[in-house]
């Protein structure tokens, strides 16, 4: 997999991710991508309910959240996470990318949307955008 310029937090620690998807494969694939960005997987969840408890437990910098999942869907999980943690940065990652779905997710507090199959370059740019000034390329922190 292509290696990207690693992103780190301002405190020079790796960006921590919570990956939420009912597919083990999708979680593995996303984990590999975020590791190629210099990130660290703080936790994983296979449904919305587990995502809520895992968010509280791990306090990640970014959540990558699927939409169609058993028990509780991603959009409801985003709403509940953002209600309790308004600072949460959630990026929706789903194969179902129609306008109503994207709009609903953004209205509930998601910061961005990526359609599956996920292209690493697109995800990297979105993560940089969502983290904004809270993450910098590792080279930039070393130069300071």
Partner 1 sequence: MKMDLIQPFIGSLDAVLAEMMHEPASIADLAMEEDGYRRKGLAAEVTFKGQIEGRIILDMEPRAAAKVASYLAGADVDPSEPMVSEAVSELANMVIGNAVTQLNDRGFQFKVFPPALLTQEQCAKAGSDSEATVLCFATACGNVYLNIAMKYHARRSRERSPMAVA
Using CB under 8 A, list all residues that contact partner 1.
1, 22-26, 28-29, 32, 68-70, 94-101, 115-117
- Closest approach, Cβ 104 to partner 1, in A, equals 12
**Is the Cβ of residue 13 or residue 95 nearer to partner 1 in the bound state?**
95
Kindly report the three-state secondary structure assignment for every residue of 83-126: HHCCCCCEEEEECCCCHHHHHHHHHCCCCEEEECCCCHHHHHHH
Least separation in angstroms between residue 5's CB and partner 1 is: 20
Instruction: For the CB of residue 47, give the shortest distance to partner 1 in the complex, in Å.
Output: 10
Give the residue with the Cβ less far from partner 1, 10 or 32: 32
Biggest CA-to-CA distance, the chain = 47
Q: Which helix (H) or strand (E) holds 20?
A: strand 16-20
CB 71 within 8 A of CB 53: no
- Provide, rounded to whole angstroms, the least separation between the CB of residue 42 and partner 1: 21
Length of the chain counted residue by residue: 144
Q: Which is nearer to partner 1, 21 or 79 (CB)?
A: 21
């Amino acid at each position: 997999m292509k290696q990207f310029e690693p992103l780190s937090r301002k405190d020079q620690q790796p960006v921590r991710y919570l990956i939420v998807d009912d597919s083990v494969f999708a979680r593995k694939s996303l984990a590999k991508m975020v590791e190629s960005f210099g990130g660290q997987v703080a936790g994983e969840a296979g449904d919305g309910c587990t995502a809520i408890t895992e968010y509280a437990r791990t306090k990640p910098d970014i959540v990558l959240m699927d939409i169609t999942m058993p028990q509780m869907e991603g959009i409801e999980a985003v709403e509940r996470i953002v209600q309790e943690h308004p600072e949460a940065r959630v990026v929706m990652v789903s194969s179902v990318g129609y306008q109503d779905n994207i709009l609903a997710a953004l209205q509930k507090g998601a910061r961005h949307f990526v359609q599956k199959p996920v292209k690493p370059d697109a995800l990297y740019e979105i993560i940089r955008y969502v983290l904004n000034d809270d993450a910098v390329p590792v080279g930039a922190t070393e130069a300071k």
